[in-house]
Amino acid sequence: MKLRRSMLFVPGSNTSMVCNAFVYRPDTVMFDLEDSVAIEEKDSARLMVYHALQHFTYDDMETAVRVNPLHSIYGLLDLEAVIRAGVDIIRLPKTDTVEDVLQMQEVIEKIEFKIGTDKKTKLLAAIESAQGVVNAVSIASCSDRLMGIALGAEDFVRDLHTQRTKAGSELMAARAQILLAARAAKIHAFDSVFSDVRDKEGFIREAKYIKDLGFDGKSLINPNQISVLHKIFAPSKNDVEWALDVIEASTNAKEKGLGVVSIDGKMVDAPVIARAQWTLELAKASGMLGGDE
Amino acid sequence: MDSSISFSEFDCLNNRRVKRVEKFLNDIGLDFPSSIENFVIAKDGDELIACGGLDGKVLKGIAVAPHRRGEGLILSIMTRLINIAYSKGIKDLFIFSTPNNTDLFEDCGFKLIENCDNEIILMENSNNLENYKKILLSKRKDGNTIGSIVMNANPFTLGHQYLVEQAAERSDWLHLFVVKEDLSEFKFKDRIDLIKKGVSHISNVTVHEGSDYIISNATFPTYFIKDKGKINELHAKLDLRIFRDHLAPALGITHRFVGTEPYCVVTNNYNKNMKKVLEEPNGASNPIEMVEIQRVEKDGKAISASRVREFLKVKNFNELEKIVPSSTLEFLKNI
Amino acid sequence: MSKIKKRAHAGTLESSDAFIEIEPIEEDKIKIELQSSVEEMYGDDIRELIKKVINELDISHISVKVQDKGALDYVIKARLQAAILRANDDEKIKWDKL
């Protein structure tokens, strides 16, 4: 499974960020054409993102684009542009129902067919309303293109008639629901942005919290948060030791033609091996195994 | 790359926000410029950190909080101001500022027109001054004494006519500029029309339409509120320096004629300044001799356009007949 | 070859970006006025790029004014194309030409 700890949010109208975001090495860069772009700049930002996606600086980085809703006059134009440019993931602006996903999927399929690409653009649904949270389970499993679901907290708390707090109790139900829905459907779960860029401690606290909850990653608005988040997601030395042991044991068992793998007298089955591989991926990405951070 | 900065745009009707801008400018020791129509501000959280304004074709009130300078905020403010101006169909823009900001605004595509005694600068984002000079060059006339007059003529009186006649008599050729800005009681079209009719008997005069570079809202904004005694000396100087350094050389102007000013202290001061700016060596252009011509009187009082406007208010055409040419009188009767 | 319909602009004066203004002109040529923070090193390359983008869109009789703030090629391309689409009120974008 691909690592998706950090998803850096880059306003399509902020040229300096569009051009330089790759420097910070987020796992996924997410260009925004929706809320952060003023109406008068929609066309220009779309072209900017269209070209950025094709630039070599983003060749080896997973790219996502948050497009405008299909019911707006920009949604279809955004899709036409970024699918042509080879974007990896389309982030749906606001997903309330399964139909929202299926409708987007249909449009994307048409465009892919029209331009004759083999690439199967993935989808990421943003859950930003009470309705979306309630439907999260059915949304998470409605399309094989869906790689994950993400919480969009700012709009969600408005819909819930509350506001964001440092403690985060207002998001408790939504986070739990989204996480469970994603895990049940075997797709990724992403937490919302932490918007107070000055509150470093608050960011660390929240990042640790959502990691412990089980989220795969978090949307970020400040590039400086990336390395902090990656450190938090790094596995402990003990975890890495355990994972290395598991992989070694399973490799040895395979070579010997043994059907059953065990360590310290405990059975090691396929999910445990998968978990160990995942831990090593994380360790590698965190620079603990000589890979790059 | 700081995404916590937000920008907003609003117009002068937004009193509460305008007040905040005024306070912001005052707090960093700057005056709040009059008559801004559109504002742009940058905020970091709730704190105002930069602002700028648009008044017609002039950008003013552009400032950044001292502790936030060097971040390029000016460039974002300028982009937004230019976008507003363009969307209103205004494409040729001016900036008044202080000389230390020259580089900054050059970075925004503006060119320096004039740096007046290192106190004030005027910049523009077009090539219009160069183009205007080319047009003037094509209207150049030979002669030793090339006179000039700049008048608003609001409206044209016998006093104006006398000034033109006297100036024309003393010049080989006379260039008469008519203030183009439509900020006076009488429209430019009418004012220049009446001037042309009123000088049609003089053979050695060219009547020029004014421009942004000669007593306009761009070069000399306070000229138009002089009734309130508010002429800004710096702006007056700037306007005269542009005349001397750019316009006069194109036409080979050697003299500038003005009427004496017996009543208005403000205009009188302006004339005194004019003598200094036009005649003293400045290292950039040849001096221009300023000639004051005694104003013509009627019934012991100098003829002035403001008297005409007073008589017009009460429709006293008998008195008007004594102080305006027949062409102007005809026009006034038909208003 | 076609002429753009009207004056238009795109971009910003911010760092890494370019502010581009275009205008239809009478002469059959591409008139470029460039002010760049990297003029000495890349001035000619930028002019070439501008001509290329304009030619690819089959446009002539155009004046282009560029304030470049150290923009990457694709940024200049994006801003110029945006300005041209705006000048023609284009809704139907020919993506293969961009």
pLDDT value of position B296: 86
Give the mean pLDDT of A262-286: 86
Nearest to B261 by CA among B232, B290, B219: B290
A151-188 core/surface letters (b: 16 or more CB in 10 A; e: else): bbbebbbebbeeebeeebebbeebbebbbebbeebebb
pLDDT over 70 for what percent of chain B? 97
pLDDT value of position A292: 44
Task: Kindly report, residue by residue over B265-307, the tens digit of the pLDDT.
Answer: 777 778 888 999 999 998 889 999 999 999 888 888 888 888 9
Residue A15 pLDDT exceeds 60: yes
Q: Is residue C95 assigned to a domain?
A: no
Nearest CA in chain A to C83: A44
Q: Is residue C65 assigned to a domain?
A: yes
Q: Is residue C3 assigned to a domain?
A: no
Nearest CA in chain B to A20: B1
Q: Quickly state the pLDDT bin for B1 (edges 50, 70, 90).
A: very low
Contact: A197, B83; criterion CB under 8 Å: no
* Rounded distance between C-alpha atoms, residue A126 and residue C57, angstroms: 37
Q: Is residue C13 assigned to a domain?
A: yes
Q: Which of C6, C12, C13, C36 should be substituted to probe chain B, the one whose Cβ sees the most B Cβ atoms within 10 Å?
A: C13
Sign, CA dihedral A8-A12-A18-A22, equals: positive
- The nearest CA of chain B is from the CA of C88 a distance in Å of 16
Ordered by where they begin, the domains of chain A are 6-233 (3.20.20.60), 237-285 (no CATH)
Structural domain boundaries, residue C48: 8-87
- ipTM for the assembly: 0.94
Residue C1 pLDDT exceeds 80: no
Q: Could you tell me the residue ranges of all domains in chain B? A: 5-126, 129-333
Task: Map tokens 């040419």 to a residue.
Answer: B325
Q: Is residue C96 assigned to a domain?
A: no
pLDDT over 90 for what percent of chain B? 70
**CATH code, residues B5-126:** 3.40.630.30
Give the mean pLDDT of A108-112: 97
Return the partners of chain B (3 or more C-beta pairs < 8 Å). A, C
Residue A100 pLDDT exceeds 50: yes
SS (H, E, C) A95-124: CCCHHHHHHHHHHHHHHHHHHCCCCCCEEE
- The nearest CA of chain A is from the CA of C77 a distance in Å of 8
Task: Kindly report, residue by residue over B149-189, the tens digit of the pLDDT.
Answer: 999 999 999 999 999 999 999 999 999 999 998 888 899 99
pLDDT value of position A291: 46
Q: Is residue C60 assigned to a domain?
A: yes
* Rounded distance between C-alpha atoms, residue A181 and residue A216, angstroms: 13
CATH code at position C36: 3.30.230.10
Sign, CA dihedral B165-B166-B168-B174, equals: negative
Contact: A52, C81; criterion CB under 8 Å: no
Task: Map tokens 């006034």 to a residue.
Answer: B332
pLDDT value of position C29: 94
Q: Quickly name the fold that domain B129-333 has.
A: Rossmann fold (3.40.50)
Task: Kindly report, residue by residue over A121-135, the tens digit of the pLDDT.
Answer: 999 999 999 999 999
Q: Is residue C98 assigned to a domain?
A: no
Domain count, chain C: 1
Portion 84-123 of A in contact with C at CB < 8 A? 84
DSSP state of C73: H
Q: Quickly state the pLDDT bin for A290 (edges 50, 70, 90).
A: low
Residue C77, φ and ψ in degrees, nearest 5: -60, -50
Mean pLDDT of chain A: 93
